[in-house]
Structure 1
Amino acid sequence: MTRLARLLSSLQQGLPASYCSGGVSEMIAKYKDLIVSLACRLMAPFVFLFGLYVTMFGHYGPGGGFQGGTIMASGVILMRLSLGRQATIKKFPLEFGPIVGAIGLLIYAGTGLVSLLAGGEYLDYAYLPIPSTSGTERQYLGILFVEVGVALGVFGVLLSIFDSLTKE
């Protein structure tokens, strides 16, 4: 019986698709095609780099922290799907997502808290106490801090969601 036939029969019986032979653990096993694995190994660093670019230059044009974090997470998910979980856990352990997400939240909240404690409103970048910078430069740096915080937060949350959905 093919995998599709098992899936259709389990759906007809009202069982979740994960009850089929294989289930979720087969989804994140190493992909057996050499060309796909090699292409994903070559593509993943560029996907991650593009996510960094979108994050860093999002305040100049389309993009920003959310989009950049999503693109970076998709690069790691691409590696997890093509190379298998065991091969990618060495570079990106399962605890990596929640830790990076928490760091992103701290950067975002910390930027707002510092400007609040410096006498401004929450996330009023003009009040950030950055020495030897003008008000405009502080605005750009404040936006960059927030974008990096959002990117790390989104990256961590998406990676955590993927890892929890594909848990063995």
Structure 2
Amino acid sequence: MNVLLSDEKNSQVSPVKLIFSCRGMLVPALLLLAAVVATNGALLIMSDGLSRMVALKERGQLCSVHTNKSKIKRMMAKSDSVMVHRISSEELEELMESCTQKASSGQRGFIYPGTKWCGPGNIAKHFDDVGRYEEEDKCCREHDHCPKQLGAGQCRYGICNKSLFTRQVIFL
């Protein structure tokens, strides 16, 4: 997936391409997280039914678990249908656990469950420490160590990375 950053000074598209893929390998769940970058709303993730939902706010600053059916229905009604995604009950359980751990640990951003490098920053103990999604984690680690990169929220040369991921920058 290629993403264009906008120049913060004049809100026009800058000739900078950001690469989110690693040799063409993209994890569907990580694509969902990338969608949060492009919106001002929340990415709503749920399994079948309306009993449990995780909401990820822009830039991964807020990850919240919802179990109130009325609130879930209201949030879905206000949300663009593109931003509502269904996953398996097991995956949702994992996301809910990760959100709960994030909140209790005071961690700033959301690290995707099963990884240690995919999200803002990392939770790895050392360079070779990867999660159970090893290939995806190595991809995220590669992007984090790219010399031409903008960290989450970082600005350089008048170009700002407003995403929750470190981005590799290629000047066209």
Q: What TM-score results when the alignment is normalised by the length of structure 2?
A: 0.24
Pick 1 or 2: higher relative contact order, CA cutoff 8 A, min separation 6.
1
Greater strand percent: which structure?
2
Q: Which has the larger radius of gyration?
A: 1
Higher helix fraction (1 or 2): 1
